[in-house]
Structure 1
């Protein structure tokens, strides 16, 4: 077993939990993403703990140290231990007894190796003691150093335990990998039909995270080659994703989220349904699609500055260079206020004719780059308007 040290967060609460769990000789180890990210020098969000103690022992040891515990996943061996107001998920060493591609029946184990063998990727099967000594039962350290994403043991076996691991493979490749294990890619291709049994909500969760990576281009390309991308996002085309990443770097995106514009670039047939997007997320996708068919100022006026700016980046990735002064143009258009209201025309028009007249005037105003005056717009609105749907004269 390879050994190395890592600088874990200097966290009194974490130290208190680890000390409590190991007070009577049980192992208590930081595991997974926290160890991986600490070794990479990446930010650490959640800290998970693995222990040789059984769940009931975890609760007893925590309470003996004055800590509160919550049996958040007791049937699966997980107890949340709370210290200094923060919760730490503590899971007993386990081994899989039976799996159905989504859920596993587990048995508790005293073996760290058993626990490591049921994890997904070698770089996620790294453990660390309270003093920072790294335990590496399955060769994760060398894979992490090479940024090689590899399943623990047999890739097919790990995938058939939970088919969502196919998407997790590409997501972790996007975030942490430079090299994909060829056996893993072959297994993802061969077993991709198993994703049909995974809920769209879970698929959407993984795709959001994947597309949020700094540069998911290679991972998405591998997804397409493996036949996974068209399965989860029918009609998606990621050919120009690299160009979008470059545009993002050239023009800057500030605090705008990455994944919505990257998803919009790929133009899937029905991303809202395929990924179970929220109502707001689906509306953003619809607006980004429509904005790409408009001049940037018109998109800014209709949908706001953020949507217009992102549509410019998408268009640039597709080879349509943004017009000179586009940033200034969309900033001005986003603040523009149409000079007319229905009250200005009620003396002359009513009903559907009033609505058509306002829409006609507003379109002309946008086409004029917002330069038509109120007087010009009133005159335009009072002229007969052709009904766009029928081609017949309006009743103005």
Structure 2
């Protein structure tokens, strides 16, 4: 099939590394075209991060061609037709055209093909099923460009059949809608997702976590989240869901701060009774992610921006800058802006004394050592961290002489 459209030639297409790789493949008679996200994002003027390609020959042929050109090749998914080429330090995922032979809702058995339309037909959504080349030619078999322009996220083919092939497509449907869609959501796709909602329990926690956090990082995910909740999609993986009121506040604050954090937004849709440990295990969160979730769901400390910079510094010191920002973004008070500036510019100092100084002051090893360090630390914090080591040692000496902590 001849190309049926055009896209603007992008800087990443002209990149010498891209050209070197394309030339190496073409030298061996391999047709390579850009596919999926890079084509989609180029069409809607979004920044392209990952450049993926499809080829019409088996992966072994591509490996041979690339290695001959001294381009590094990593066999990331050779049996599925995928390799990664690394040209000048930039990775390119290259996948042979495929057609599905068998699917079970989670995994697919595929066969290689040289049929571009057949490969496009097995992809999830029309906006992800387009191919382009370095000359700006576009192959769009299912009007993905039209859907992209209209803000439609539409399955390629029958939505119910496509979901039966891979249940993860339910979450991907909503993730892409959050990022690229405009109301109303595609009715056929939504109905199929609702009908298959119970099948989500068959997915791995890792896949659910990844899709959910990506969805939440969209510019304004609240409406999508509400639709998902109304469709019963959180029943198994996030029964703690408690609405989007706090999410909308967090999104507004993050937008003002030019940031976006999926985990922080996840915490915002979880009710106050949510158990961070239980949720962390269910979604297979990392230790650090579970800690952040625990801090965000905790009742205390209540972030206080009304009492000025000294209180802000006190709380930043106790929580740490990053965890402080996590809780700060949940505030309705406009005073969070000053606190945010402080949290991103001020580094909490280290306490100028330690237990060793207490021992040198003649205090025997034991519980009194820790008590005295804590007392001096409290005094140091109360004085807004202004006291230097000499002043802290003098305060320690005074407390030792008074018999404090004995």
Moved more, 321-330 or 184-193: 321-330
In structure 2, the partner of 1:34 is 38
Distance in 2 of aligned mates of 1:331 and 1:27: 49
In structure 2, the partner of 1:111 is 115
SS at match of 1:156: helix
| 8 Å CA contact retained: 1:204, 1:274 | no
In structure 2, the partner of 1:299 is 315
In structure 1, the partner of 2:307 is none
- Is 1:272 matched with 2:262? no
Deviation at 1:248, TM superposition (A): 2.4
Distance in 1 of aligned mates of 2:33 and 2:264: 39
Moved more, 32-41 or 7-16: 7-16
Cα RMSD, aligned residues only? 3.7
In structure 1, the partner of 2:309 is none
Deviation at 1:200, TM superposition (A): 1.4
**Equivalences for 1:86-235 in 2 at 5 Å?**
86-179=90-183, 180-235=185-240
- Structure 2 stretches of 5 or more lacking a match? 305-311
| 8 Å CA contact retained: 2:41, 2:48 | yes
SS at match of 1:335: coil
**Equivalences for 1:361-376 in 2 at 5 Å?**
none
Deviation at 1:362, TM superposition (A): 6.4
Distance in 2 of aligned mates of 1:109 and 1:294: 59
- Is 1:245 matched with 2:248? no
- 1:109-138 Cα distance to aligned partner (Å, 9 max, x none): 221111011111110000012311100112
In structure 2, the partner of 1:335 is 348
Q: What is the TM-score of this pair, normalised by structure 2?
A: 0.78
Distance in 1 of aligned mates of 2:70 and 2:371: 71
Deviation at 1:300, TM superposition (A): 1.4
In structure 2, the partner of 1:310 is 326
Deviation at 1:363, TM superposition (A): 6.8
Aligned length: 380
- Is 1:3 matched with 2:16? no
Distance in 2 of aligned mates of 1:340 and 1:67: 55
CA 1:199–1:347: 2 relative to 1, 3 Å:
same
CA 1:366–1:225: 2 relative to 1, 3 Å:
farther
In structure 2, the partner of 1:390 is none
CA 1:302–1:76: 2 relative to 1, 3 Å:
same
Distance in 2 of aligned mates of 1:69 and 1:328: 45
Distance in 1 of aligned mates of 2:379 and 2:298: 19
- 1:33-68 Cα distance to aligned partner (Å, 9 max, x none): 111111111111221111221223333444555545
Q: What is the TM-score of this pair, normalised by structure 1?
A: 0.80
SS at match of 1:315: coil
Distance in 2 of aligned mates of 1:82 and 1:353: 59
- Structure 1 stretches of 5 or more lacking a match? 385-394
Deviation at 1:83, TM superposition (A): 3.6
In structure 2, the partner of 1:262 is 265
| 8 Å CA contact retained: 2:42, 2:48 | yes
SS at match of 1:149: coil
In structure 2, the partner of 1:77 is 81
Distance in 2 of aligned mates of 1:143 and 1:111: 23
Deviation at 1:32, TM superposition (A): 0.6
Deviation at 1:358, TM superposition (A): 6.7
Deviation at 1:232, TM superposition (A): 2.3
CA 1:63–1:365: 2 relative to 1, 3 Å:
closer
- 1:170-214 Cα distance to aligned partner (Å, 9 max, x none): 222222222431221222222122222222122222222222223
Distance in 1 of aligned mates of 2:97 and 2:342: 59
Distance in 2 of aligned mates of 1:136 and 1:243: 39
